[in-house]
Amino acid sequence: MNHHHDDFETRRRRRAEREAAREERRAERRRRHAHQRAQNPHRLYRDTDDRRIMGVCSGIAGYFGVEPWIVRGCFIAAAFFFPFPVIPAYFLAGLVLPKKPRDLFKSYEEEALWREVTVAPDRSFYALKLKFSDLEARLRRLESDVVSGDFELRRKFRDLGV
């Protein structure tokens, strides 16, 4: 009877160890995935959701933030005047470019932010610089109000109910 109990305990312990190892592997995959999401996801993809042939023109349009019909029109004009380099380049891009993942961005605002950072980083940097300058000015005003003697006096009057 005691031998049977030991076997049961051993199996239970091994099962718990396997489950703990499985959970550790899942946690590692989540950490790795979170690290990969932190990188800039805005790249050139084939957009197969809005495609006519292979999604290359739609992908280029998404990368630069323009309407796909504009890129398609430019492609048709270029293919008409320069068919040899343009048409093979299109099919080569269709084979080389990865498909755009469906859940690449959480919102349209996130997509616009990453596009701006990728396409015009100097403009993005300038906008961030202005935003932080404004925050710094507000913080300085707040700090000067808190440090001044008037702040303490106003707080005492407020506490008295005046």
Query: Do both 113 and 51 map to the same domain?
Result: yes
116 burial type by CB count under 10 A (0-12 exposed, 13-18 middle, 19+ buried):
middle
Statement to judge: residues 80 and 22 lie in one domain: no
Query: Token digits for 39?
Result: 């990188």
Same domain, 7 and 21: yes
Same structural domain for residues 21 and 61?
A: no
pLDDT above 90: residue 3:
no
What does the pLDDT read at residue 76?
96
pLDDT at site 99: 92
Do 96 and 46 lie in one domain? The reply is yes
HEC secondary structure over 74-142: HHHHHHHHCHHHHHHHHHHHHHHCCECCCCCCCCHHHHHHHHHHHHCHHHHHHHHHHHHHHHHHHHHHH
Section 90-111 average pLDDT: 90
Q: By mean pLDDT, which of 23-32, 57-66, 80-89 is the weakest?
A: 23-32
Is residue 32 domain-shared with residue 101, that is, in the same domain? no
pTM (predicted TM-score)? 0.54
Q: Are residues 80 and 98 in the same domain?
A: yes
pLDDT in tens, 43-67: 899 998 888 999 999 999 988 989 9
Statement to judge: residues 54 and 109 lie in one domain: yes
- Residue-range definition of the domain harbouring residue 135: 120-162
Residues 10 and 30 occupy one common structural domain: yes
Backbone angle region of 55, left / alpha / beta, with phi > 0 → left and psi within -120 to 50 → alpha: left
Query: Is it the case that residue 89 has pLDDT exceeding 70?
Result: yes
Output b/e per residue, 66-98; b: 16+ Cβ within 10 A: eebeebbeebeeeeeeeeeebeeebeebbeebe
Domain count, the chain: 3
